[in-house]
């Protein structure tokens, strides 16, 4: 294909990639931000001040609005680009023939009709029909779940009419996402992007719904009700003010101030910022969050379904045991020298592998051979017998120029058949295999033979093999796994292993990882159970072995039907339905497919199980901090709204206008978004059971505790306001006094809500750099207002005596001490407010 033709076809068919779903444009983000009601109130206030001729206040309100818009848009835009960066890094490249020349191009630029060159180790970029195939084998496990490579043949005259379906030997088709494990070939591309087999599976995921973000719905509903109530009250204020006092523009400003004071617009802001910052924090431990709702769900996960290879283990095979037919066996440790008696076994196993290995086990065998003295055996591979479903063994015939040597390796039962072992010898080998499998070691049997001539036999069965021994290979457990599993168990999260490995191996790895003792259920046993029987078995099973990928979806659905909150790991295309069906789908970032990542809620960039546990810890911390911020918001809006309404009831001048409320919001918003978000985790965050997923964020105990705090603050401020008014304090001085007293009480409410414990010292000494910055900013703004005449004139503040400032600070201290003294008496309410108890049975 020519470069020009390929470019035209790329424009016509689109790139060879999965559709990018859900990406928002900058314009769409901007429109969503402009819908916020608080922004509308700020704009209305600015217009009202312009009508009054007060340009300074109008510009300040408009500046507040612009600042809010810019920060939100920048933050939202950044989150949209995170996944795109990962996709670009993980996109495969392809070697194609263009204009008669081999050229390597991005996989997304491959088009139908391209000639694609396949070599060992390549990730196939598109579905293709083979024109040439030289001992070609591909790993299609990402599509089929079968771990064994399948052989491919070049196409014949009738091949184009044959049905295309991944899996099975002797096909002339290769599929996008598969890995070339052996040989080479050339194919003509038949399908790309969503038209490929991997693309069709990805499109079928649309039939599965993901859980909606409950916190966002709950928050939006509360803000809507508060908005309706605040709007009604603001409208009444405008009407009564205009009718009783005259001056409809002033009435509009009073109504806007009331509306701003009663609208808890911080709720959605806090939720957005906390979850976005949470995604960033989780990203720092090697986890990419694709959906913010996953952070919320992490705190309530009760079951964590994890695969074995690469997640619990390092996905790095090494020779761990060697066994000879004489019964002698040794354990291989690191770089320790292997006795000479075992050199021939290691060399035969390596010669039975691919010359340039990509399979982890074959890589380990070649590495072991490199550590023993060379015997001179080898030469070139004259003929090879590939692994077949009916015989799980492979052989290479080597020619060194003088003699032929046949080396074979494979499943022990297959090699035993080839060697025609006597019953006693077969039983001895089987016992050795069982002993290794019980330690979590994967076992290969090795054999050799001497071909009599170059008339290669049709099958491996036609040679006289002699058993060379057994090679045990281990995938070491990640060092962080036992501690991480123990932390999960302490947190009430049940860890379940789901693997395609043998039951004995899986149970051994589970024991090493510290997964709770329990039953082992195999895929064959699972297939024989109906849903009721499976539900009955679930509570005692901790290891699922020999599981096919399509069975994972059934396991996830069974756990969900039993009321569990399920987190699920996976990497293959066939894992995608179970990843999407789980409450928290966790895809592998290094070895996973794009389809798995699209179906998941979070992506492990380092494929490490410990990252999942760290994410759970952070998820619980983030949820705790959201509740702290929400409690603070409830509490702080009570005195603000009360002080905005109080003068109207007593026929006094309006105390706070829109500019004062906006200035207060400039204190409250950073406190919510920065201080509470940066709060460290509570000491027992991973020692408490998972929270109930249906527990409301705004529980009655939390609201009661928050309203109590706000009412106490308002009572203190209202008393001062009324007493000073009746004693004749000038309006401007009184406004300044109450404003600074309110700031002091806001700081007190921050300290009260920082920690769940009752100790005041805890709130004062807990490390939080953001709080120090906010405190410094508050002191700086206070200083500007106190010493800058233009600031006092803008805010309509009179000069305030130092004794009055000391009194304002004393009110904040008094509120802090009063609320801290109430905590022990209201411990039950405070604890329920901030730490919801689990209401359903969970695993321990």
Per-residue pLDDT of 463-484, as tens digits, reads 999 999 999 998 888 888 899 8
CB-based contacts of 570, cutoff 8 Å, min separation 6? 307, 549, 552, 576, 578, 579, 585, 586, 587, 588, 592, 596, 600
Nearest in space to 348 (alpha carbons), one of 327, 329, 322, 315: 322
Instruction: Determine the Cα–Cα distance for residues 623 and 685; give it in Å rounded to an integer.
Output: 11
**Measured over all CA atoms, what is the biggest interatomic distance in the chain, rounded to whole angstroms?**
118
- Taking 50 as the pLDDT cut, the residues of the chain under it are 79, 82-83, 85-90, 206-212, 830, 833-844
Q: Number of helices (H) and strands (E) in the chain: give both, helices first.
A: 30, 22
Contact predicate 264/226, CB 8 Å: yes
**pLDDT tens digit sequence for 500-529:** 777 888 888 899 899 988 899 988 899 899
pTM (predicted TM-score): 0.66
Give ∠ CA 154-186-16 in degrees, rounded to 5. Answer: 115
Contact predicate 393/428, CB 8 Å: no
Contact predicate 423/446, CB 8 Å: no
Q: Contacts by 168-171 with C-beta closer than 8 Å and gap 24+?
A: 169/388, 169/389
Sign of the CA dihedral running 330, 333, 336, 338: positive
In this prediction, residue 226 carries a pLDDT of 64
Nearest in space to 749 (alpha carbons), one of 789, 709, 788: 709
Distances in Å between the Cα of 602 and the Cα atoms of 488, 568, 580, 634 are 18, 10, 11, 32
In this prediction, residue 22 carries a pLDDT of 54
Contact predicate 193/17, CB 8 Å: yes
Instruction: Determine the Cα–Cα distance for residues 18 and 194; give it in Å rounded to an integer.
Output: 6
Instruction: Determine the Cα–Cα distance for residues 177 and 199; give it in Å rounded to an integer.
Output: 10
Instruction: Determine the Cα–Cα distance for residues 180 and 137; give it in Å rounded to an integer.
Output: 6
Instruction: Determine the Cα–Cα distance for residues 358 and 348; give it in Å rounded to an integer.
Output: 18
Instruction: Give alpha helix (H) positions in 285-359.
Output: 293-298, 343-351
**Which residues make beta-bridge pairs with 376?**
none
Give ∠ CA 560-143-114 in degrees, rounded to 5. Answer: 145
Sign of the CA dihedral running 143, 145, 151, 155: negative
The b-or-e profile of 640-649 (16+ CB within 10 A means b, else e) is: bbbbbbbbbe
In this prediction, residue 603 carries a pLDDT of 83
CB-based contacts of 97, cutoff 8 Å, min separation 6? 1, 103, 114, 115, 117, 186
In this prediction, residue 158 carries a pLDDT of 64
Instruction: Determine the Cα–Cα distance for residues 289 and 283; give it in Å rounded to an integer.
Output: 7
């Amino acid at each position: 294909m020519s470069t020009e033709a390929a470019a035209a076809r790329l424009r016509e068919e689109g790139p060879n990639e999965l559709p990018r779903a859900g990406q928002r444009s900058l314009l769409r983000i901007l429109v969503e931000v402009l819908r916020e009601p608080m922004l509308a109130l700020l704009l209305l206030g600015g217009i009202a001040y312009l009508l009054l001729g007060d340009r300074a206040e109008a510009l300040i309100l408009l500046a507040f609005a612009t600042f809010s818009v810019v920060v939100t848009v920048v933050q939202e835009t950044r989150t949209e680009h995170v996944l795109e960066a990962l996709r670009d890094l993980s996109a495969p490249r392809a070697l194609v023939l263009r204009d008669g020349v081999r050229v390597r191009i991005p996989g997304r630029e491959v088009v139908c009709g391209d000639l694609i060159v396949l070599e060992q180790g390549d990730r196939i970029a598109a579905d293709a029909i083979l024109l040439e195939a030289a001992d070609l084998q591909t790993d299609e496990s990402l599509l089929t779940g079968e771990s064994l490579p399948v052989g491919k043949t070049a196409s014949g005259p009738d091949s184009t009419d044959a049905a295309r379906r991944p899996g099975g030997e002797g096909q002339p088709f290769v599929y996008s996402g598969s890995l070339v494990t052996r040989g080479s070939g050339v194919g003509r591309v038949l399908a790309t992007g969503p038209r490929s087999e991997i693309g069709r599976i990805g499109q079928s995921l649309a039939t599965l719904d993901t859980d909606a973000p409950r916190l966002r719905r709950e928050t939006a509903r509360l803000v809507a009700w508060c908005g309706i109530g605040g709007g009604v009250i603001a409208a009444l204020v405008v009407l009564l003010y205009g009718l009783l006092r005259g001056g409809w523009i002033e009435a509009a400003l009073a109504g806007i101030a009331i509306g701003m004071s009663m609208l808890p617009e911080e709720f959605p802001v806090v939720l957005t910022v906390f979850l976005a910052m949470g995604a960033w924090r989780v990203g720092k431990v090697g986890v990419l969050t694709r959906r913010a709702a996953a952070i919320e769900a992490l705190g309530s996960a009760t079951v964590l379904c994890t695969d074995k290879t690469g997640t619990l283990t390092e996905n790095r095979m090494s020779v761990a045991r060697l066994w000879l037919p004489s019964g002698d066996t040794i354990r291989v440790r690191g770089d320790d020298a292997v006795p000479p008696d075992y050199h021939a076994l290691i060399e035969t196993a390596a010669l039975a592998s691919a010359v340039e290995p990509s399979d982890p086990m074959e890589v380990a065998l070649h590495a072991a051979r490199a550590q023993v003295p060379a015997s001179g055996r080898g030469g070139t591979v004259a003929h090879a017998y590939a692994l077949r479903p009916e015989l799980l063994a492979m052989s290479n015939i080597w020619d060194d120029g003088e003699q032929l040597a046949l080396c074979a390796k494979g499943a022990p039962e297959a090699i035993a058949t080839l060697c025609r072992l006597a019953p006693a010898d077969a039983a001895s080998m089987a016992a050795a295999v069982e002993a290794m499998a019980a330690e979590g070691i994967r076992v290969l049997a090795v054999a050799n033979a001497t071909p009599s001539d170059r008339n290669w036999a049709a099958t491996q069965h036609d040679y006289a093999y002699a058993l060379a021994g057994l090679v045990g290979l281990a995938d070491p457990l990640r060092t962080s796994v036992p501690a991480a599993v123990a932390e999960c168990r302490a947190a009430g999260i049940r860890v379940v292993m789901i693997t395609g490995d043998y039951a004995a191996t899986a149970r051994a790895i589970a024991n090493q990882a510290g997964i709770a003792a329990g039953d082992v259920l195999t895929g064959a046993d699972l297939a024989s159970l109906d849903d009721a029987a499976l539900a009955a078995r679930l509570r005692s099973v901790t290891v699922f072995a020999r599981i096919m990928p399509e069975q994972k979806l059934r396991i996830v659905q069974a756990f969900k039907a039993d009321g569990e909150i399920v987190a699920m790991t996976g990497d293959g295309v066939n894992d995608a339905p179970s990843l999407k069906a789980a409450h928290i789908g966790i895809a592998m970032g290094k070895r996973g497919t794009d389809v798995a990542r699209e179906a998941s809620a979070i992506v492990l960039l380092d494929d490490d199980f410990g990252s999942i546990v760290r994410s759970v810890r952070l998820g619980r911390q983030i949820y705790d901090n959201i509740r702290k911020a929400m409690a603070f918001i409830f509490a702080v809006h009570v005195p603000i709204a009360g002080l905005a309404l109080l003068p109207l009831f007593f026929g006094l001048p309006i105390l706070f206008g829109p500019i004062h409320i906006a200035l207060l919001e400039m204190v409250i918003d950073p406190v919510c978004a920065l201080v509470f978000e940066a709060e460290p985790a509570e000491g027992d965050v991973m020692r408490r059971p998972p929270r109930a997923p249906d527990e409301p964020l705004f529980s009655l105990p939390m609201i009661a505790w928050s309203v109590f705090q706000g009412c106490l603050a308002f009572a203190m401020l209202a008393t001062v306001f009324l007493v000073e008014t009746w004693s004749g304090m000038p309006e401007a001085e009184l406004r300044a006094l109450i404003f600074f007293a309110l700031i002091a009480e806001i700081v007190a409410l921050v300290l009260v809500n920082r920690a769940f414990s009752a100790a005041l010292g805890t709130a004062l000494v807990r490390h939080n750099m953001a709080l120090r910055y906010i405190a410094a900013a508050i002191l700086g703004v206070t200083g500007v207002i106190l010493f800058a005449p233009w600031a006092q004139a803008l805010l309509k503040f009179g000069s305030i005596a130092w004794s009055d400032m000391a009194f304002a600070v004393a009110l904040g201290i008094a509120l802090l001490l009063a609320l801290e003294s109430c905590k022990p008496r209201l411990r039950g309410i405070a604890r329920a407010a901030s730490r919801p108890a689990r209401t359903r049975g969970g695993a321990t």
